[in-house]
């Protein structure tokens, strides 16, 4: 009997980490990936204990995915710009992503 193991997604070797700050106006936290870089996963953590963050997965716009205090979101295979608006100035946000 023979077996065949097929892996459909790449193995992650490392994450790039960055602490950034979101303010009360939409601002870019992470630029779009440059070809040939491909982000396999992006994790965004709201490090504030009191402020909320809206994560905008587009280069324009002012409404995004709500991330509550100390919450996080994970996005697979997203290579576009990441912007954010916080409910308070200087809200700490952590971004981690892995590339293939």
User: Which tens digit of pLDDT belongs to each residue from 39-79?
Assistant: 999 999 999 999 999 999 999 999 999 999 999 999 999 99
* pLDDT value of residue 7: 62
CA–CA separation, 61 and 47 (whole Å): 23
CA–CA separation, 57 and 67 (whole Å): 13
| Mean pLDDT of all residues in 13-21 | 95
* pLDDT value of residue 18: 97
Backbone angles phi, psi at 24, to 5 degrees: -85, -5
CA–CA separation, 47 and 95 (whole Å): 10
CA–CA separation, 20 and 7 (whole Å): 34
Domains of the chain: 16-99 (2.60.120.770)
């Amino acid at each position: 009997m023979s077996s065949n193991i097929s892996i459909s997604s790449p193995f992650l070797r490392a994450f790039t980490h960055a602490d950034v700050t979101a303010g009360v106006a939409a601002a870019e936290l992470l630029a779009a990936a440059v070809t040939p870089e491909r982000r396999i996963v992006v994790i965004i953590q709201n490090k504030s204990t009191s402020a909320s963050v809206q994560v905008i997965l587009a280069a324009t716009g002012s409404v995004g995915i709500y991330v509550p205090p100390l919450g996080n979101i994970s996005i697979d295979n997203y290579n576009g710009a990441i912007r954010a608006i916080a409910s308070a100035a200087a809200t700490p946000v952590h971004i981690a992503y892995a590339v293939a």
